[in-house]
Structure formats: C-alpha cells, structure tokens
Amino acid sequence: MTKKPPFSLPSGAQWPRETGTLLDLVGNTPLYRLQRTLPSARPGIELWAKLEGYNPGGSIKARPAAMMLHYAITTGQLRPGQIILDSTSGNTGIAFGKLGAALGYAVKLTMSSGVSIEKQQFLRACGVDLVLTDAAQGSDGAIRKAQEIYESDPDLYFMPNQYHNPANVWSHYLSTGPELWAQSKQRITHLVAAIGTGGTVMGTGWWFREYAPHVRIIAVEPDQADHGLNGMRHIPSTMRPGIYHESGFDRLMRISTDTAYEMAQRVVRREGLLLGASAAAVLVAAQRVIQELSSGVVVALCADRGERYLSTRLFESDDNRF
C-alpha cells in the first residue's frame, strides 16, 4: 500500500454516536471464530468471521449508509423534505430504507431487476419507492437510472452516490477498522474483504495502514464479468467506483461463483451460519490465504446473511458431503 491514503477526513466527519436513533445500533458486530469450516487448518492459524449481518438491515452497508446520511444532515446537504435517492444492489438500499424511515426521510432507489426477490420485498416493506432496471445492464444500469432521476429535479432529491461518496470510505475508517483491531485483541494479521463499491476495502485498508501497517489487506472480486456474487463488482468490466484505488489493498484475489456457492453451503452445514454469496467468496479467499501461512490470525469480513438469497441458486445442492 502507499504511505499516504488517497483520502482525507474532514474535521466535521465523525462516526454517529448517541443520536437517539437507529444509527446508534450500527456497528459493533460480532467477531466469531470458525472452528469447523477448515478443520484441517494447522496449529497457530485462526480464522475469524466478522458477522456484519448483525447490523440494522442485515449487512455491512448499514455503516456507509449511516455515515453518509449523518454527515449530510450535519453539513446541511440533506434537508428536511428531500427524498434520499440512490442506486443499489440491495444491501445499501435496505440500509437507506431503514435508516431513512428512522430519520424521517422518504427513500427512492433504482435497482437491477436481477436482484433477489427477497431484497425487493424488503425494500418495499420499508416503504421505499423502488425503480427496477433491466437485469442485463446489471448495477451499471441502475446507476445510470438514478442519475437520470436526480437530474430531473436536483432540489427534490439528495443523492448520496455511494460509489463516489468519500463518506462511504470514512465509515470503515472510523468504525470497521478500529473495531477489528480491538476485537481481535490486536492480533489480526490478514483481513479479507469483498469489493463492491470499494468503500470497505479502502476504509479498513486506510485505517490499518496508519495504525497497524503489518496487517495485510486482501481484496476479493469475481473471476469474471458474468457472475452470481451479488453485491460484488468485477472491476475490469464495470463502471469504476470513484472511491476505488488499488493502493488500498495489498493483494487482489478472484473467486468463481461456483466455488463461493459451495463454501456458502459448507459454512451453514458445518457452522450453522447462513451467509450471503459475497461472504462465502471472502471465505474461499481466506481459505487460500491460510494455506500459504505457517501462523496468523485471518479475519474474513462477511458482508451479509443468506436469508435474502433463499430464492436464488446460492443454497441449491444435493451434495451432502459437507
């Protein structure tokens, strides 16, 4: 990683605390040691999962959503009566829907129609005005549609623009990074995290570069453009998020959809943890990292739970070998 991060933290950017709202429940998610997923792991190696599904809305995206909204309100960018508008692959949108409701704001979101029906139902249950876009265009199509809606009436909408908003990165610098360090009792040696908007990897990578530079940051992306790892981006074939920089991590690993799905099924049957596809992909990468080590404490950042993917192929298997 570079010596200096390509981001700056404004003096007014603070993690929301004691707000008296749902924002106070974001973060401080469990760090859980996986004992049975890799039973053949050598002594001296530990695998831990940071279970972000315990956030409000059930995913890590509650962190950037909380930070983006809190900072926008405190700086006057988000005004009473405005509508929160953005594109989403589901998880950030769910976080916006729940937090927006708690803060008294209407929410309008664009999303690919290829996203799981559970996520669509969740968003509508939160009262979100949901605009579905062509599944063939993926998340890029939803991004373009959100921009089109915003430009039709900029005064009506506040657009966090999660792919370009530095507050997305700040959320992980201010919360996820220090949490991981404290919960691991300062023993973490490797952090493995998926690339979606890039905020998680960039923010945690920035924090560890400053405070614990020996910790290696491993970023994970799908191995091809046409994949089934919802919430993850194949950077070479999609719009490049403005907050994404290769300098934010030490290593990039590419994981196949089938391998991730197999891991998701293994983890729920061996550990009782129902995780999403991106979390499973991260665990596959973590397993490969562990195979290269003689000792270490590896943390897999598991972005969400698996309940919102039950209508997909994620858990379809007749294989009982797990």
Q: Which helix (H) or strand (E) holds 96?
A: helix 91-103
Residue 111 half-sphere exposure toward CB, CA atoms < 13 A: 27
Q: Tell me which of 50, 61, 108, 145 is the catalytic residue.
A: 61
**Dist. CA 241–CA 222, nearest whole Å:** 16
The question of whether 89 is a catalytic residue gets the answer no
Distance from chain centroid for Cα 318: 29
Tokens coding 312: 């997909």
The question of whether 98 is a catalytic residue gets the answer no
**Dist. CA 307–CA 244, nearest whole Å:** 29
DSSP state of 215: S
Q: Cβ contacts of residue 132 below 8 Å, gap of 6+?
A: 110, 111, 112, 113, 120
Structural contact between residues 194 and 217, judged by C-beta atoms closer than 8 angstroms: no
**Dist. CA 265–CA 310, nearest whole Å:** 12
The separation between the first and the last C-alpha atoms of the chain, rounded to the nearest angstrom, is 37
Structural contact between residues 122 and 95, judged by C-beta atoms closer than 8 angstroms: no
Q: Tell me which of 59, 89, 175, 278 is the catalytic residue.
A: 278
Q: What is the set of active-site residues?
A: 61, 278
